[in-house]
């Protein structure tokens, strides 16, 4: 099974995408995580991406398209869930071209949405483990011990782009550049619109049911 999850920052793509991929034994290809790893490892792509990410802008298409193609080709034996790619219409066209080139297809495209006040609350309370990358939320999924990861005891931190002023810019970029993907994908077989405003388990149940239908 090959899927795309798209939607605004903080809607829960990472939370739901990771669980769905792990339970279905498919690869979770999260563009933001791939970019953050490149920044951490100071690769050439990471160096190019850093300033865009810190200010909440999209990294140039040329950088992200080749990074994701490498991962899709390398990891396509069991299927994949793309989280955070494509993020504009040009990237969606590149994705269609690369899938056709590698004789792959998309089975489902899931658009997740929630009211802006929920997005702001989710992003501003998010905590990430520095060691394993697992995500928590101060109120909705707090760690057992403050500041430490339940899974690996790593240190929890707030993402640089989860500061209030950067969140505002990410939401603006989303409305301007990513929302037009809705028109691109809406009429396709396998397109799903998912209300992601409920609590995590309810959203996950709805996602599983929608993908199964
Ligand atoms: P990326 O890391 O992909 O950020 P994003 O799309 O802005 O999405 P987030 O990771 O912030 O949110 P999410 O929807 O995954 O929510 P999550 O599950 O964590 O990208 C970062 C940057 O990289 C971009 O700004 C850009 O610069 C660059 N980039 C990435 N892809 C690119 C591309 N294709 N092209 C160009 N540039 C690109 O949930 C958020 C919080 O809410 C968590 O704390 C979670 O615990 C909590 N939560 C989740 N669901 C619920 C719920 N139902 N109820 C209550 N709390 C919830």
pLDDT in tens, 120-144: 999 999 999 999 989 999 999 999 9
Q: Whose CA is nearest to atom 20 of ligand 1?
A: 32
- CB 87 within 8 Å of CB 57: no
Q: CATH no. for residue 78?
A: 3.40.50.300
Ligand 1 atom with the shortest distance to the CA of 137: 44
Bridge partners (DSSP) listed for residue 109: 4, 191
H helix intervals, 24-139: 31-40, 44-55, 61-74, 89-101, 116-124
DSSP 114: -
Catalytic residue among 36, 87, 108, 122: 87
Total tally of structural domains belonging to the chain: 1
Bridge partners (DSSP) listed for residue 28: 81
Pocket test for ligand 1, best of 19, 122, 150, 204 (most atoms within 8 A of CB): 122
- Is residue 73 predicted with pLDDT exceeding 90? no
Q: What is the pLDDT of residues 2-29, one digit of tens each?
A: 999 999 999 999 999 999 999 999 999 9
Spatial distance between the Cα atoms of 202 and 171, rounded to a whole number of angstroms: 24
Cβ within 8 Å of residue 151, ≥6 positions away:
129, 132, 134
Residue 45 pLDDT class (50, 70, 90 cuts): very high
Could you list the residue range(s) of the whole structural domain that residue 197 is in? 2-212
pTM of this structure? 0.95
Residue 41 pLDDT class (50, 70, 90 cuts): very high
Active site residue 19: no
- CB 50 within 8 Å of CB 146: no
Cis peptide before 34 (omega within 30 of 0): no
Question: 3-state class of 113 per DSSP?
Answer: strand
């Amino acid at each position: 099974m090959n899927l795309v999850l798209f939607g605004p920052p903080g809607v829960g793509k990472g939370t739901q995408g990771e669980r769905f991929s792990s339970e279905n034994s498919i690869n979770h290809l999260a563009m933001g995580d791939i970019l953050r790893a490149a920044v951490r490892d100071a690769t050439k792509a990471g160096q190019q991406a850093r300033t865009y990410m810190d200010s909440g802008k999209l990294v140039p298409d040329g950088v992200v398209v080749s990074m994701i193609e490498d991962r899709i080709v390398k990891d396509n034996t069991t299927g994949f869930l793309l989280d955070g790619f494509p993020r504009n219409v040009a990237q969606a066209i590149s994705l269609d071209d690369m899938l056709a080139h590698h004789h792959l297809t998309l089975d489902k495209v899931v658009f997740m949405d929630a009211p802006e006040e929920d997005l702001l609350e989710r992003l501003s309370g998010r905590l990430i483990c520095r060691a394993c990358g697992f995500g928590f939320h101060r109120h909705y999924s707090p760690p057992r011990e403050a500041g430490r990861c339940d899974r690996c005891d790593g240190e929890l931190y707030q993402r640089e782009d989860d500061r209030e002023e950067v969140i505002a810019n990410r939401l603006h970029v989303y409305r301007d550049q990513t929302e037009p993907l809705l028109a691109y994908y809406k009429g396709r077989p396998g397109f799903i619109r998912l209300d992601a405003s409920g609590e995590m388990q309810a959203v996950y149940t709805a996602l599983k049911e929608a993908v199964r239908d």
